[in-house]
Amino acid sequence: MSKSEQILPNKDHFLYSFLNPKSIAIFGANNNLMSTMGSMQLRNIRAGKGIQEIYPIHPRLEIIQGYKAYKSVFDVPVIPDFAFLILPPKAVIEVMEECGQKGIKRLLITSGGFREIGTEGIELSNKLDQIAKKYNMRFIGPNCLGIYNAWYRYPEKKEAFINTFWPYMIPKRGNISIISQSGTIAAQTFWHAKEIGVKISKSISVGNERNIDLVDFLEYFKDDGYTQVIGLYIEEIKRGKEFIDMTKKITPKKPIVAMYAGGTKAASRSIMSHTGSLGANEKIVKAVFDSSGIISTNSIMDFLHYLRTLSFAQEYNIFPKGNKVGIVTDSGGSGSMMAKTAELYGLSVPEFSRELKNTIFEIIPPTASANNPIDVTFDVNFVNLLYKLPKLVMKSGEVDAIIVYGVFDFDEVLDTMEQSGMILDEKMKGINLMIERAVLKPIKRLMKKFSIPVYYAGPLPYKYPWFQKFISHDIPIFELWDLPTKNLNILCNYARYRRERLNNST
């Protein structure tokens, strides 16, 4: 999102009020946080902080998690914006009727036990429809986890609306919105999202989609200023034509990454008992995705990384102009494997011009190689590796994107030196500060200036402080060397698609 425009949510859409309720009634929570999902969800909502007015409904308890509880929704002194129903399926029907009478128009029904369990569940689902129609209500679910909105009402307050996950472990907020027919994908992926730096705007578990479906949410996200990338987990596409029309409109401006769970025998059986839907043929769904410009994968780790890759490109408007990649490495093996996989994915790793090679030779050791990949071999000049060489290659105009392998943890490097008996002078101790100043900040500026992404990689797990430092500066970094080429390929393909569509539309 461009910094000059004011960012606005999609306030005119009916889903805005689902994502930003002021007051809620909650059915199914108690004080034993371990015993029911409702109790956990209330705990999450509390910890998210945004919502001030919370009205738990319970037949016996007086106080629930610090809030005054009511015997019935009719006892609540106001008409809440929103009701949460986490009850056995038959109780859902009764309570929904009462909510209707009370005048509540928006519901989240997390309870399972509907369509996915067979005939009896389908009858119960029909009752949900009837009550919703009678009182002009809309609802998310049933059989879902719920809602996370990182940009609740007044973004400057940094409060969230979240019932799905424990808020102290959520990733940073950002421009990625997820719509998922699985609660796990909407919530349990947050541990990795946080570690990898996948910054979430909203994450919605839509469940059986009896009343509100993913097309509704796509429509919301299309015009939501806080959403620039969309992730989908799909077991069923209910409104095929609308889905295609909507995603075709979205993808030229906001990339969509999707996982489709169906398409095999056991997967279809699993889906039937999960959300009660009929999984469609893999080829049909793939054709739908391709025709709409949707990027698809069967890997959850790739899904998370692709979202991060596109989120970065969107946030800083850094899109490669072609598919030529320059590789800079301090290790021949990783350089060779990256060159190989880049070419297998369809990227090009062109040999550098004689002129560029000569400039490179001036700052690398004599045994190093100035071809593409540039392999500095053993060289402790980290600023050359991480900044000066990528800068030379950027300025040459010979590539559209760069991968640099060789990020270590500079704190660990210092620790190791000290542990092995070396006395460090002040200059050495300042290596990490120096890298932050002389590498991270200026490379980000250059990326924006040239519209050339620079992807970093190294041998460490993401957990290491220096990987987290790159992530905190919003600089794409990857564990080892499998992912940079794969992600760059996704980005280059999307950049081309985007160019073509935006050109056609003008």
**Residue selected from 14, 135, 316, 462 as contacting a copy of itself according to rule CB under 8 A:** 462
Residue 113 binds a copy of itself, judged by CB under 8 A:
yes
Structure letter (DSSP) for residue 495: H
In whole angstroms, what is the distance from residue 185 CA to residue 259 CA? 10
Measure CA 200 to chain center: 5
Residues linked to residue 326 through DSSP beta bridges, in sequence order? 402
Q: How many CA atoms lie within 13 A of 369 on its CB side?
A: 16
Taking each helix axis from N to C end, the angle separating 441-450 and 389-396, rounded to the nearest 10 degrees, works out to: 10
DSSP-based three-state secondary structure for 174: strand
Binding pattern for the stretch 430-459 against a copy of itself, x by CB under 8 A and - elsewhere: -----------------------------x
Considering only 274, 305, 308, 469, the residue that binds a copy of itself (CB under 8 A) is: 274
Q: Which stretch binds a copy of itself (CB under 8 A): 9-17, 147-155, 213-221, 414-422?
A: 414-422
Q: How far apart are CA 229 and CA 313, in angstroms?
A: 10
Q: What is the number of other CB atoms lying within 10 angstroms of the CB of residue 388? A: 17
For a copy of itself, which stretch binds (CB under 8 A), given 353-361, 373-381, 395-403, 491-499? 373-381
Pick from 251, 331, 384, 489 the residue near a copy of itself by CB under 8 A: 331
**Selected binder of a copy of itself within 163, 334, 384, 487 (CB under 8 A):** 334
120, 351, 355, 500: which one contacts a copy of itself (CB under 8 A)? Answer: 351
Q: List, as one string, the DSSP characters of 306-355.
A: HHHHHHHHHHHT---SSSBEEEEES-HHHHHHHHHHHHHHT-B-PPPPHH
d(CA 456, CA 443): 11
Least Å distance between CB 333 and a copy of itself? 2
Q: Which stretch binds a copy of itself (CB under 8 A): 129-137, 153-161, 190-198, 494-502?
A: 190-198
Residues 3-62 that bind a copy of itself (CB under 8 A): 32-35, 37, 43, 46-47
Considering only 428, 434, 438, 446, the residue that binds a copy of itself (CB under 8 A) is: 428
Task: Tell me: does residue 373 bind a copy of itself (CB under 8 A).
Answer: yes
Q: Which one-letter DSSP state was computed for residue 114? A: S
Q: Which of 80, 85, 103, 93 has its CA nearest to residue 36?
A: 85
Selected from 192, 222, 444, 496, the binder of a copy of itself by CB under 8 A is 192
Interface mask toward a copy of itself for 115-144; x: CB under 8 A = --x---------------------------
Beta-carbon contacts of residue 283 (< 8 Å; ≥ 6 apart): 263
CB of 293 to a copy of itself, least distance (A): 23
Who's near 371: CB < 8 A, 6+ residues apart? 351, 352, 357
Q: For residue 206, what is the DSSP state? A: -
- Compute the distance between CA of residue 99 and CA of residue 85 in angstroms, rounded to an integer: 10
In the complex with a copy of itself, which residue's Cβ is closer, 54 or 73?
54
List the structure tokens of 203: 């994450």
Total binding residues toward a copy of itself, as defined by CB under 8 A:
91
Residue with tokens 């004599």: 366
Region of 19-27, 254-262, 391-399, 498-506 interacting with a copy of itself (CB under 8 A) = 254-262
Stretch that binds a copy of itself, among 16-24, 124-132, 218-226, 294-302 (CB under 8 A): 294-302
* 203 contacts a copy of itself (rule: CB under 8 A): no
Q: Give me the least distance between CB of 474 and a copy of itself, in Å please.
A: 20
Given 342, 376, 475, 488, the residue binding a copy of itself (CB under 8 A): 342
- The binder of a copy of itself chosen from 17, 30, 377, 432 (CB under 8 A): 377
